[in-house]
Amino acid sequence: MRYFGADNQVWHKHGNSPVSEADFAVDRFLTETLRSARPGYGWLSEETEDSDERLSASRIFVVDPIDGTRGFIDGRKEWCISVAVVENGVPVAGVLECPALSETYAAAGGAGARLNGRRLERLSGSAIASVTASRKLNEAISASQGGALAVLPFVPSLAYRLAMVAGRKVDAAFAKPGASEWDIAAADIILREAGGALVDLDGVQPRYNRPATRSGPLLAAGTEAVSSVIELAKSGGFLH
């Protein structure tokens, strides 16, 4: 947290995406800690140069040192450290550490999802009253729905927006094309263990540890609501 609210040095990557000295510091810490503990695991991190060696590993760490870097730089609290273990293309454990919010989401396959140690109640029901997405998607959803849905104010971390669904803070979340594996892997299993699902417009869940790390459009909701959310996205034409 010593970097949060401080005058961080910032660089810009392709697409004008910012990266701060805090991103690199967290990446170094996670690399040293996790890879020394599990040297046989592969490694995929937003801030580490990718290597094809991970593709032959049955288990890998998928890491985003700071998801929501723009918000972090601007002093917003909705950013998180995202760490997942992926086995044979599927997340089997995940943690979202959100220190500025004093929130920790965690899940493991078959063990449920927890927020600050408290087990999350499984999602149920098909009603959709509130949604969250990127800033531009929020505007498009508002325009297409004419006030029929509550569109929450923009949250800069995609991983946290997905966790908001698992924590019943919002009914559904949308992600525009281009989300990377490190943005979604940990949130994916947290959502799944809370009774939700992260899928594309055909209802297919993403696979991980692929050569190409970016996904197409995605949406998240409770499993009973997913079909309604897919129809909402298709009829509204805002997710493509």
Per-residue pLDDT, 6:
59
Alpha helices (H) in the chain, listed in sequence order: 21-37, 69-74, 135-145, 158-166, 181-193, 226-236
- pLDDT for 175: 97
pLDDT digits (tens, 9 = 90+) for 74-110: 889 999 999 999 999 999 999 999 999 999 999 999 9
Q: Catalogue all structural domains in the chain, each as residue range(s) with its CATH number.
A: 10-119 (3.30.540.10), 130-236 (3.40.190.80)
Tell me what the mean pLDDT of segment 145-161 comes to: 92
Regarding beta strands 113-115 and 118-119, do their DSSP bridges make them parallel or antiparallel, or are they unpaired? antiparallel
If residue 163 lies in a helix (H) or strand (E), which one and from where to where? helix 158-166
Query: What is the predicted pLDDT for the residue at 1?
Result: 57
Global pTM reads 0.94
Q: Say if residue 13's pLDDT is above 60.
A: yes
What is the rounded CA–CA span in Å between residue 211 and residue 64? 17
